[in-house]
């Protein structure tokens, strides 16, 4: 017991009192009390032990109540003891034998002997002393109280070195520091419950209360209202301004903010608007971003032959279809729809894995088919569509085509045709091909005039270029009969000799 001590009083924690000093003062207190018409307390106990309770009536002290309580021990002593209620005086001595008989009758009536009463009185004194000591111990524990700590500060857990050390970024002080955790560190979860301190993880944003050494964490609180947590999607990252920009609201993020996916650090540039994010912030500044649902990509291939193509993901707005385009999509199942003027509308169900590319191949997209019908003013022509020989009617996928018609003796006919419906009819008017040959006309008499199809052309001999075809030639000279003959030009040269008679 000598090793235990008590504080001096409830207000002042400076001085302490040892139990052996208290016992000494209690004895002194008992002695002073005994001098106040109660006699010596030790004598009373000795009398109890010697079983000297059957004392003569004249030795029984006179019955009277004590007036006031005993004053506390003077303040000059090393300890302070609370005032104690005084004991009542014993009843006055009974001198008359009849009164003794009455007194004995009363004892028998209540079933208690003098010895029993003395035992009860002794036990009461001991109970008072023990109770007084227990009360003093309850209000003044022997172990020193924990030092009063400062206010909790928001800190970002950057890494966990081991079960006893974590590296944090102190947001208030704007500095990195190492915190020590021990068995006295109290960790409070989001529901306000105390949990094992080993649950602290990288990326946690917590309120930390430090011990007086400034290095040991007294408490780590996840439930403090200073920290705000929100789940959001459709946020674009502006790394230049360090902002997460949404359609209705935006958030700044700190220079030391951490972005995590599956307990691994990622760059804010890796985020896509389709990601589901958990933001943890202090004073509307984001310090921790955890990706709850990450994205993958849909990569489109073989889309170059699709005309006027559109790509639609789930219920989002359709975008122009391009070869090699990559569309970000949250991990999971999605509905994809592709439209085009030359293909049937295509719908597919695909599954995208987080962080992976899904190849969406459109090489087997079913093409829309239509018919091109040719009506021409000639027969036995040759039909070419996009340079390939074809026949009318021509069944082709929806799209745009170059149609060409060829025939000997006629000029080439061509037209650009857009097949965007079930059938398209075109009308071709071919023009003759104007080929020329040289006609040479001679006569056996000089000075004869040459007429072709009734038109004067000159004096023979002569040459004239004429289109392919048949012509009537006349050669005339006064005094001679008119020479008449038909000639056909179907090559580069033709000749005619007139004999006049």
Architecture per CATH, 436-498:
Sandwich (2.60)
- Nearest alpha carbon to residue 448 among 459, 437, 438: 459
- Look at residue 456 in the predicted model and tell me its pLDDT: 92
- Look at residue 131 in the predicted model and tell me its pLDDT: 59
- 75 compared with 34, residue with greater pLDDT: 34
- Look at residue 307 in the predicted model and tell me its pLDDT: 86
pLDDT(94) > 70: no
Q: Is 269 left (phi over 0), alpha (psi -120 to 50) or beta?
A: alpha
pLDDT(264) > 60: yes
Per-residue pLDDT reduced to its tens digit, 39-79: 454 554 454 444 444 444 444 444 444 444 444 434 333 33
Architecture per CATH, 227-293:
Beta Barrel (2.40)
Architecture per CATH, 369-428:
Sandwich (2.60)
Mean pLDDT of the 408-428 span? 90
DSSP secondary structure code for residue 82 in this structure: -
pLDDT(137) > 60: no
Label the pairing between strands 326-330 and 295-301.
Answer: antiparallel
- Look at residue 309 in the predicted model and tell me its pLDDT: 93
Mean pLDDT of the 478-501 span? 90
Mean pLDDT over all residues of the chain?
78
- Nearest alpha carbon to residue 164 among 209, 207, 197, 204: 197
Query: What is the CATH T-level fold of the domain 153-221, as seen in this structure?
Result: OB fold (Dihydrolipoamide Acetyltransferase, E2P) (2.40.50)
Copy the structure tokens of residue 432. 């003759």
Percent of the chain at pLDDT > 90 equals: 52
144-153 own/partner pairs: CB under 8 Å, 24+ apart: 145/13, 146/218, 147/211, 147/212, 149/209, 149/210, 149/211, 149/212, 149/218, 150/209, 150/210, 151/209, 152/207, 152/208, 152/209, 152/219, 152/221, 152/224, 152/226, 153/207, 153/208, 153/209, 153/210
- Look at residue 183 in the predicted model and tell me its pLDDT: 87
pLDDT(339) > 50: yes
- Look at residue 25 in the predicted model and tell me its pLDDT: 56
Copy the structure tokens of residue 187. 């960790």
- 410 compared with 88, residue with greater pLDDT: 410
Per-residue pLDDT reduced to its tens digit, 243-253: 999 999 999 99
Confidence band of 492 (pLDDT split at 50, 70, 90): confident
Confidence band of 115 (pLDDT split at 50, 70, 90): low
- Look at residue 343 in the predicted model and tell me its pLDDT: 87
- Look at residue 319 in the predicted model and tell me its pLDDT: 94
Per-residue pLDDT reduced to its tens digit, 313-337: 999 999 999 999 999 999 999 999 9
Residues contacting residue 383 through CB under 8 Å, at least 6 positions apart? 374, 389, 390, 391, 392, 394, 403, 404, 405
Copy the structure tokens of residue 209. 């209360």
- Look at residue 29 in the predicted model and tell me its pLDDT: 52
Mean pLDDT of the 380-387 span? 93
Q: Please answer whether residues 290 and 319 qualify as being in contact, where contact means their C-beta atoms are separated by less than 8 angstroms.
A: no
Copy the structure tokens of residue 413. 């006919």
pLDDT(99) > 60: no
pLDDT(103) > 60: no
pLDDT(292) > 90: yes
- Look at residue 63 in the predicted model and tell me its pLDDT: 41
84-88 own/partner pairs: CB under 8 Å, 24+ apart: 84/29, 84/128, 84/132, 86/33, 86/36, 87/33, 87/38, 87/125
Mean pLDDT of the 108-133 span? 60
Question: Lowest mean pLDDT: which of 27-36, 260-269, 450-459, 481-490?
Answer: 27-36
C-alpha span between 253 and 21 (Å, rounded): 64
What length does the chain have? Answer: 501
Mean pLDDT of the 283-302 span? 95
- Look at residue 422 in the predicted model and tell me its pLDDT: 87
- Portions of the chain given CATH number 2.60.40.10: 436-498
- Portions of the chain given CATH number 2.40.50.320: 153-221
Q: Is 323 helix (H, G, I), strand (E, B) or coil?
A: coil
- Look at residue 54 in the predicted model and tell me its pLDDT: 45
Cis, bond preceding 192 (omega within 30 deg of 0): no
State the burial class of residue 66 (Cβ atoms within 10 Å of its Cβ: 0-12, 13-18, 19+): middle
- 212 compared with 128, residue with greater pLDDT: 212
State the burial class of residue 498 (Cβ atoms within 10 Å of its Cβ: 0-12, 13-18, 19+): buried
Mean pLDDT of the 222-243 span? 94
- Look at residue 121 in the predicted model and tell me its pLDDT: 66
- Look at residue 427 in the predicted model and tell me its pLDDT: 93
C-alpha span between 393 and 385 (Å, rounded): 11
Mean pLDDT of the 490-501 span? 89
Per-residue pLDDT reduced to its tens digit, 170-227: 999 999 999 999 888 999 988 888 887 667 899 999 999 999 988 999 999 999 889 9
C-alpha span between 81 and 347 (Å, rounded): 91
pLDDT(496) > 80: yes
């Amino acid at each position: 017991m000598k090793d235990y001590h008590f504080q001096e009083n409830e207000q002042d924690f400076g001085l302490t009192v040892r139990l052996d000093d208290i016992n000494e003062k209690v004895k002194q207190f008992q002695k002073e009390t005994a001098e106040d018409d109660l006699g010596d307390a030790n004598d009373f106990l000795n009398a109890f032990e010697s079983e000297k309770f059957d004392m003569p009536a004249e030795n029984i002290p006179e019955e009277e109540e004590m007036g006031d309580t005993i004053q506390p021990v003077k303040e000059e002593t090393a300890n302070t003891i609370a005032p104690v209620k005084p004991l009542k005086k014993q009843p006055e001595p009974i001198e008359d034998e009849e009164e003794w008989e009455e007194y004995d009758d009363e004892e028998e009536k209540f079933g208690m002997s003098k010895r029993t009463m003395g035992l009860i009185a002794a036990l009461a004194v001991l109970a008072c002393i023990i109770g007084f000591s227990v009360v003093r111990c309850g209000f003044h524990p022997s172990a020193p109280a924990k030092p009063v700590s400062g206010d909790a500060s928001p800190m970002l857990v950057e890494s966990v070195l081991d079960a006893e050390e974590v590296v944090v970024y102190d947001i208030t002080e704007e500095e990195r520091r190492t915190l020590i955790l021990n068995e006295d560190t109290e960790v409070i979860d989001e529901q306000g419950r105390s949990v094992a301190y080993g649950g602290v993880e990288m990326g946690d944003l917590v309120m930390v209360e430090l011990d007086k050494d400034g290095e040991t964490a007294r408490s780590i609180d996840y439930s403090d209202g200073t920290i705000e947590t929100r789940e959001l999607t459709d946020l674009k990252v502006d790394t230049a301004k360090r902002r997460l920009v949404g359609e209705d609201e935006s958030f700044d993020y700190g220079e030391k903010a951490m972005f995590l996916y599956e307990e691994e650090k990622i760059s804010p540039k890796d985020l896509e608007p389709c990601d589901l994010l958990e933001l943890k912030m202090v004073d509307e500044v984001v310090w921790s971003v955890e990706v709850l649902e990450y994205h993958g990509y849909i990569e489109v291939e073989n889309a170059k032959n699709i005309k006027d193509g559109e790509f639609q993901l789930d219920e989002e707005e359709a975008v122009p279809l391009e070869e090699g385009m990559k569309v970000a999509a949250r991990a999971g199942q999605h509905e994809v729809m592709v439209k085009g003027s030359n293909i049937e509308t295509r719908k597919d169900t695909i599954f995208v894995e987080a962080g992976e590319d899904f190849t969406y191949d459109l090489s087997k997209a079913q093409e829309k088919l239509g018919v091109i019908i040719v009506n021409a003013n000639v027969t036995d022509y040759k039909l070419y569509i996009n340079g390939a020989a074809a026949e009318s009617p021509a069944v082709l996928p929806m799209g745009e085509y170059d149609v060409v018609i060829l025939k000997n003796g006629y000029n080439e006919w061509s037209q650009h045709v857009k097949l965007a419906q079930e059938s398209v009819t075109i009308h071709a008017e071919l023009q003759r091909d104007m080929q020329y040959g040289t006609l040479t006309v001679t006569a056996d008499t000089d000075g004869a005039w040459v007429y072709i199809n009734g038109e004067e052309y000159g004096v023979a001999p002569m040459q004239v270029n004429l289109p392919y075809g048949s012509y009537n030639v006349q050669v005339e000279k006064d005094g001679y009969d008119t020479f008449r003959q038909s000639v056909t030009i179907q090559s580069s040269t033709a000749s005619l000799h007139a004999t006049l008679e």
